[in-house]
Structure 1
Amino acid sequence: MKVLLVGDYSSAHLNLYRGLMRNGISCDIVTSGDSWKKIDGNITVNSSYSGFVGKVISAIKPFYMLSKKEINNYDVIQFVNPCFLYGSAKYSRMLFNAKFKQHPNKFIMACGDCSIFWAASKKELTYGPFDDWLKFDLQRQTCNWQSDEYIEYCNYFYENMKAIIPVMHEYDVGLRNSYHSEKVLTPVPLMVCETTLTPPSQTRYQDNKLVVFHGLNRPGFKGSHYIKPAFDIVRSEAIGSKFKFVIDGKLPLAQYLELLNSASVVVDQANSYSLGMNGVYSLGLGQKVLGGAEPESLAMLNELKSPIVNIKPDIEDIAQRLRETLSEMTPEKTINEDSLEFFYKHHEAKKNSLLFLERWMQ
């Protein structure tokens, strides 16, 4: 089998690519780098130039690079998102129609924002990132995904897919309550290839203190405005004096993972029912993780409980969960074996990539 993965989002496709390659599956991944994260595939289409020249090259390069590939030689094409390389619906439709539409086996990994997430998922979830992303990140009343242009394009895109494979409860619940519900397959959990991870650090200290870390990336979407005040509260208390609280991010993936590996406790995000990629990386690094672990998310994994400490978008809730977590930490135990066990059971890419093979062959 030969597979083409198109686009990436927080390295979700990169890790699937590496899992497939470890299983001997021929695979290519075409990416635009996912902004500052610099997540490159073996076919990279973004420009190294800035300004107008860079924009022109970035628009033309996908057509040029893909013209050198015989698309029909791939058995499966999977997209990461309807806007799979860049954020423009108009450009995405043009590239999709020119290069991919006629292929018979097109799938989408339901990962990241889309119009259905903003419509159907928002109705089904008790809480989510929607209002906070608009208020803190975009500072707008609405986003592109809510516009008629993007809604029409997303529906067009999903109509042209053979099937949809969600990777988180948030996307699954919306798609199953949309016009495209009959195309939704059993979800596959987000994955990280263990070759992406450096060995868990045995000396996770800064200034002789264990590190509590929160990654800064789309702070409104992730709920950083709940997490930062919770850090401030716990830092001022007796238990917090034994730990160093770090908030940092917006780094290329390789640098970010190096920073992440210095922590013993990681707070992923507060506006999500499920762990995102940052939380999955943290499990694979043997860290204690606070983030999305709602019952609906665990049900997708056929679990009733997990080592993840569930948090909600509430400052005091996060502060209390932090107090409880930090009270259990000791300087001698910086590697969390329960997190590692849960990672290898549910999120390791060599195993999970085979679940995608099963879905593609249904």
Structure 2
Amino acid sequence: MRILLVGEYSRLHNSLKEGLQKLGHKVIIVSSGDDFKNFESDLSVKATFFSSFWFTRKLRNGLRRFFKFDFEKIERAIRFYLILPKLKGFDHVQLINSDALELNPTISLFFYKKLFSQNKKFSLLVCGDETPVIEYLLKNEMKHSILSPYLNDSSLKNQYNFSLKYVQSNYKKVFNWLKENVNSIIVSDLDYKIPMEKMNYKVNFIPNPINTDKINFSELKINEKVIIFLGINRLSFIKKGIHFFEETLKIIEEKYDDKVEIIITENIPYQQYISLYNKAHIILDQVYAYDQGYNALEAMAKGKVVFTGAEQEFVDYYKLTERVAINALPDVNELVKELSFLIENPQEIIRIGKNARDFIEKEHNYVKIAEKYLEVWEN
């Protein structure tokens, strides 16, 4: 099959591509690389003019304030328009999101109609914010979610512009068109499966693909200090509950000054991020989640102990009898308690790290996951 994957937010599509290629398929990724993360793309629509130089970034910000429009989106639109003639004759096209092109919704819909007219079958992947997901989370019926801070404090609305845009009429129009024109909707973890099903959508649940051939497992060795890593992305700072981790680390540093080393980074490219967290034993990922996102899964594949979503729904779905990750709650006292236990019982860090790798190999192997995608696409 010839397969086109549109958009990239977490390296999900790159890992899926590698699995599909292992199975003998030809795969092309079109994306912007997701800003500072710079994920790989075969055909890039990255707005290089408005993002590469300090003076063009200043120009972009000035034009946005004056015209109330993001000129980086215009550049992306032009770049996609220029490559659109190449994007034809594919057996399957998958969008990573209804805003996979990161454009004005009207322009995105125009391009989707063109793209769909020149290819065969289509799927929409829900692996992040999406119209029905946000609609359900706004009902505030879940124990917690990425919207919890906003639902508890409406003054944070500006911090949630990215998420809340999906319930605006123009974005909803795009999603509604896609749901009527794709052959399948796929969700990547329980944080999206639960809301989509609550909103009465029939979805195909396929866990995130992790390239276990590329990511080597190394059994954790703890010598003098337990190394804890926190990677901060300011764009998702509130949604991931990072301030809970920051407060926790202050307490842990004071309590275990001679037993821990703490590494904190902020808004760095993906490859640099990975190289810095490789020496860590414990990764602090996010609170508010029920299941693991992509960064957490890659860390688990390396045998790290990850503080992330691992709610009872997750344990029940996978029928787990051993801990493969630490369920991180939006509660500093609980986080301190969990970290303290691990620091004082380093053999538990090693045991959970092994469990994490075993879990990834069983449930997230990229070739097995690629086979599941093919099954959904073909049937």
Alignment of 1:75-224 (within 5 A): 75-100=91-116, 103-123=119-139, 124-132=141-149, 138-139=158-159, 143-178=164-199, 181-182=201-202, 184-185=203-204, 187-197=205-215, 200=218, 209-217=225-233, 218-224=236-242
Distance 2:14 2:158 in 1: 27
Distance 2:230 2:157 in 1: 17
SS in 2 for 1:236: helix
Cα offsets for 1:24-80 (capped at 9, x unmatched): 2211111111111001211112132124586543221112112123x2x21111110
Match of residue 233 from structure 1: 251
Distance 1:75 1:140 in 2: 36
Are 1:65 and 2:86 an aligned pair? no
Distance 1:200 1:43, change over 3 A: farther
Q: How does the TM-score come out when normalised to structure 2?
A: 0.85
Q: How does the TM-score come out when normalised to structure 1?
A: 0.88
Distance 2:138 2:214 in 1: 33
Look up the equivalent residue of 1:74 and give its one-letter code: F
Match of residue 295 from structure 1: 312
Judge which range, 85-94 or 13-22, deviates more: 85-94
Distance 1:103 1:175 in 2: 27
Alignment of 1:235-250 (within 5 A): 235-238=253-256, 241-250=258-267
Distance 1:140 1:197, change over 3 A: closer
SS in 1 for 2:258: helix
Aligned-pair identity in percent equals: 24
Judge which range, 138-147 or 194-203, deviates more: 194-203
**2:207–2:369 contact (8 Å) kept in structure 1:** yes
Give the C-alpha shift of residue 199 in structure 1.
5.9
1:274 pairs with 268, 291, 297, which one? Answer: 291
- Work out the number of aligned pairs and report it: 354
Give the C-alpha shift of residue 222 in structure 1.
0.9
Match of residue 285 from structure 1: 302
Distance 1:335 1:169 in 2: 21
**2:281–2:349 contact (8 Å) kept in structure 1:** no
SS in 2 for 1:336: helix
Look up the equivalent residue of 1:27 and give its one-letter code: V
Distance 2:156 2:255 in 1: 28
Look up the equivalent residue of 1:220 and give its one-letter code: I
Q: CA RMSD in A?
A: 2.7
Match of residue 68 from structure 2: none
Judge which range, 22-31 or 87-96, deviates more: 87-96
SS in 2 for 1:106: strand
Match of residue 312 from structure 1: 329
Distance 1:221 1:137, change over 3 A: farther
Give the C-alpha shift of residue 81 in structure 1.
0.2
Distance 1:300 1:37 in 2: 31
**Unaligned runs of at least 5 residues, structure 1:** none
Give the C-alpha shift of residue 288 in structure 1.
1.1
Match of residue 49 from structure 1: 49
**2:229–2:277 contact (8 Å) kept in structure 1:** yes
Cα offsets for 1:134-179 (capped at 9, x unmatched): 8669436883123222223222222221111111111111211225
**1:137–1:219 contact (8 Å) kept in structure 2:** no
Distance 1:199 1:135, change over 3 A: farther
Look up the equivalent residue of 2:313 and give its one-letter code: E
Look up the equivalent residue of 2:172 and give its one-letter code: I
Match of residue 362 from structure 2: 345
Look up the equivalent residue of 2:115 and give its one-letter code: K
Distance 1:36 1:171 in 2: 25
SS in 1 for 2:255: coil
**2:228–2:263 contact (8 Å) kept in structure 1:** yes
Distance 2:348 2:124 in 1: 44
Distance 1:306 1:118, change over 3 A: same
Give the C-alpha shift of residue 125 in structure 1.
2.0
Distance 1:197 1:312, change over 3 A: same
**Unaligned runs of at least 5 residues, structure 2:** 51-55, 61-70
Judge which range, 256-265 or 113-122, deviates more: 113-122
Distance 1:29 1:125 in 2: 34
